[in-house]
Structure 1
């Protein structure tokens, strides 16, 4: 497949570029670029000019959009993550693009699991304006697929980790790098994560494998760990030593409630398991990197 990549300069996009030849990248006006052919846009919206972007393109990996942030409104998410995405897909379908790989979010399924892991068949419960925008885009893309024959593939990643990761993992990495004592000694929760290397590999597989068409994949390393084990793995990747204090989980939840950080604490001590087995069953895809191998790249980046 000749692939058009949006969000090629982002955290995940840069890894996709490392792993696979990209026919064309979408860049913002004014961004510096080198290498592959580019298509310049001013913004991602219903007015984006895609003329000429799809020449010789068979598949799109769509990463561009607004990330989860308190600085964006519901309207912002609607205009970019929903309307902008659907405009791109419609224009691509008109131009004969065959495959559209959409990077959604595990937030579409919800914030935490209690008895059974999330699967591609689980009930959706978007928990934020960002997650709702991703789900709305999924629904719109599936409608476009029905109307045009565009092969839509939806990928919902768990928290993505790796060098220079933004958001929660970036904050955890900075914490482990600077503070030798952490409060997770008694936290034995169950969470799924995915390394940026594994996610990029899965996205490339979804763009190329005919069997991916019309599927939704929940993306993870396939290795359930606690936040204690996860932060220990970060420390090992950074060649740091940490001491895990035995702080009761109820104390952390109480502190989160008092400080207005309940969501953040739940993301640390709650459960979020996913059943990502359909990627192997349908595509034969097995994550190429273990968590230990992926975390090793943190030290290389930290030098």
Structure 2
């Protein structure tokens, strides 16, 4: 029983994939009244529980605090009581920055969370880092950027639906680079942490694919998989920004916040954790991961 790796929050996209990719892992739901006993004799606890982005803007701040802060505190306290030697807490790069950064983000950079999501993720990090750990336990906080893979239902799927239907992409005037991480590379990082956590100090680590990609490059991957040559529209930036401002007040697909996320640079350095774990190469390049994800979209549609 002590060889079990317990995943909290295993019913979501990331959790379902990790259950398949991490041997001896089991999912435990906090809705189960006996969850504390189920994690007591685990070897490793992986906490995926949290409330993600609220694209509709209807969720209250307290809802984010309940899921992202209060539950993180509860899980940490049970980790201290358990036999587990390692707690891997999944935070988000949004705890540090949500919109743009001219240079790859490093762990020591200042944090500027903006949304309830980002702020509560950062609040949980700060609380966790203030807690005293026994000498035989470690806490690893991971900050991934957007995660994609089989079963992903996020923004990448929305872009795929647009391009696969032959609808022209209207934002070609914007050239940007953003970091992502494929679910395969995320699972690889976690497996490496489990195997080599003696080489890691407790603390915050960024994980991401080695290469950042632009929206144009993602579209090129979609076109390649779909074997379609849809056109791109290079609408004037001032016109697009004007439409986005309209979307701030009228329920249309584009608003200023979404436009900034789609067109700004936000890259992440994974060098700290790769150096600590002596990782040279990740299983998949950014392009290979995207191709795998897009093929999963195509397979589901077909």
The whole-number CA distance in structure 2 between the counterparts of 1:243 and 1:152 is 48
TM-score by length of 2: 0.86
| Higher mean displacement: 242-251 or 10-19 | 242-251
**Could you tell me which of 53, 56, 81 is aligned with 2:68?**
81
Q: Given the superposition, is the C-alpha separation of residues 265 and 97 from structure 1 closer, same or farther in structure 2, using an over 3 Å criterion?
A: same
For residues 185 and 289 of structure 1, the distance between their equivalents in structure 2, rounded to whole angstroms, comes to 27
1:58 to 38, 43, 51: 43
Which of 261, 273, 295 in structure 2 is aligned with 1:279?
273
2:210 to 222, 226, 235: 222
Task: Give the distance between the partners of 1:127 and 1:237, measured in 2 at CA.
Answer: 35
Contact (CA 8 Å) 1:191, 1:272: kept in 2 or not?
Answer: yes
**TM-superposed deviation, 1:91:** 0.8
The equivalent residue for 1:121 is: 108
Q: Does 1:14 align with 2:16?
A: yes
Query: Structure 1 residue 124: deviation in Å?
Result: 0.7
Does residue 25 of structure 1 match 2:20? no
Q: CA deviation at 1:238?
A: 4.2
- 1:122 is displaced (CA, Å) by 0.6
Q: Are the counterparts in 1 of residues 213 and 286 from structure 2 also a CA contact under 8 Å? A: no
Q: Deviations over 1:181-225 (max 9, x none)?
A: 112333221211111211122122223322234132222112122
Pairwise CA distance, 1:147:
4.3
- Does residue 101 of the first structure (1) align with residue 95 of the second (2)? no
Asked whether the equivalents of residues 96 and 112 of structure 2 are also in contact (C-alpha less than 8 Å), the reply is: yes
Deviation at 1:301, TM superposition (A): 4.7
Change (3 A) 1:238 1:203: farther
CA distance in 2: counterparts of 1:59 and 1:115, whole angstroms: 36
**Counterpart of 1:172 in 2: which secondary structure?**
helix
Distance 2:296 2:63 in 1: 37
Match in the other structure for 2:260: 266
Q: 1:130 aligns with which of 117, 138, 161?
A: 117
Q: Secondary structure at the match of 2:37?
A: coil
Aligned counterparts of 1:301 and 1:170: Cα–Cα separation in 2 = 7
SS of residue paired to 1:71: coil
User: Which one of the candidate residues 42, 47, 61 is aligned to 2:31?
Assistant: 42
Which residue among 279, 290, 295 is the counterpart of 2:290? Answer: 295
Secondary structure at 1:244 match in 2:
coil
CA distance in 1, matches of 2:98, 2:42: 36
Mapped to 2, the partners of 1:253 and 1:103 lie a distance apart of 34
* Structure 1: distance between partners of 2:92 and 2:261: 14
SS in 2 for 1:112: coil
Pair 121,185 (structure 1): closer, same or farther in 2 beyond 3 Å: same
2:265 and 2:144 map into 1 onto residues whose CA distance is 15
CA deviations over 1:104-124 (Å, ceiling 9, x no partner): 111111223343221111101
Residue 266 of structure 1: how far off its partner (Å): 0.4
Structure 1 regions of 5+ residues with no counterpart? 28-40
* RMSD between superposed Cα atoms in Å: 2.1
